[in-house]
Amino acid sequence: MEALSITGVILCGGQGSRMGGEDKGLVRLAGKPLFQHVAERLAPQLDHIMISANRNLEIYSAAYPTFRDTFPGFAGPLAGMLAGLRNSSTDWVAFVPCDVPFLPIDLITRLWSGRHQAMAAYVHDGQRAHPTLCLLNRRVADPLEQFLRNGDRKLMLFFEQLDAQAVTFPQASAFRNINSPADLPSLPTAD
């Protein structure tokens, strides 16, 4: 990958409804909070890590710079992405959810090279899209804010409007996420 500065944002701002209301980023797997597993996989791949969270900010901010959604109401991952784009000091921002502890160690390189000059690229595992694992240019912040102001919340619809590039990753298991407590014991150990 060419010399390029990229900020990584771990999305921890969800309501955790399928996790019984627990803050998913703080759910423990192998003795560590999920967000730390994600951060350890991301850290070697980019320059800066930040956390998007709407609760427990004091816990997250002890580890990484942390910010909350600025868009009113709960607008889902797009609100965290908007705040991440607005808080980034780099032109490119990679987003990953806090519940994907085994994401590929070459995620950023492959998104960057697979974007083909697009302003946005996202993961596809050959079966389905994983749009919360994406790389966005800060210039998409204004269109994203307008999209949210229009009442839209569907990430894939926004990506279609941007002509975002799908980047195929063959290892679907790397994107297996933890949606509920039942998912924890069944997960394999990290490689």
Total structural domains within the chain: 1
**Residues 15-32: tens digit of each pLDDT:** 544 545 678 899 998 899
> Whole-model pTM?
0.90
- Indicate whether 170 belongs to any domain: yes
Question: Looking at the chain, how many residues does it have?
Answer: 191
- Indicate whether 155 belongs to any domain: yes
Domain interval for residue 162: 6-181
pLDDT at 156: 96
- Indicate whether 1 belongs to any domain: no
Tokens, residue 51: 């956390």
Name the residue type at position 77.
P
The whole-angstrom separation of Cα 40 and Cα 15 is 23
**Residues 36-52: tens digit of each pLDDT:** 999 999 999 998 999 99
The whole-angstrom separation of Cα 139 and Cα 160 is 16
- Indicate whether 188 belongs to any domain: no
Q: Between residues 178 and 181, which one has the greater pLDDT? A: 178
- Indicate whether 191 belongs to any domain: no
**Residues 51-76: tens digit of each pLDDT:** 999 999 999 999 999 999 887 666 68
Q: Are strands 165-168 and 48-52 parallel, antiparallel or unpaired?
A: unpaired
The whole-angstrom separation of Cα 186 and Cα 82 is 33
Contacts of 20 (CB under 8 A, 6+ apart): 180, 181
For the chain, the helix, strand and coil percentages under 3-state DSSP, each to the nearest 5: 35, 20, 40
Q: What is the mean pLDDT of the chain?
A: 88
pLDDT at 36: 97
Q: Find the helix or strand (DSSP H, E) in which 52 lies.
A: strand 48-52
Residue 2 confidence (pLDDT) above 50:
no
- Indicate whether 21 belongs to any domain: yes
CATH number at residue 143: 3.90.550.10
pLDDT band at 142 (very low <50, low <70, confident <90, very high): very high
Q: Torsion angle of alpha carbons 2, 37, 172, 183, nearest 10°?
A: -170
- Indicate whether 55 belongs to any domain: yes
**Residues 81-133: tens digit of each pLDDT:** 999 999 999 999 999 999 999 999 999 999 999 999 999 999 999 999 999 99
- Indicate whether 131 belongs to any domain: yes
Angle at Cα 12 formed by Cα 58 and Cα 180, nearest 5°?
Answer: 120
**Cα 34 to Cα 20, 46, 158, distances in angstroms:** 16, 19, 27
The whole-angstrom separation of Cα 140 and Cα 147 is 10
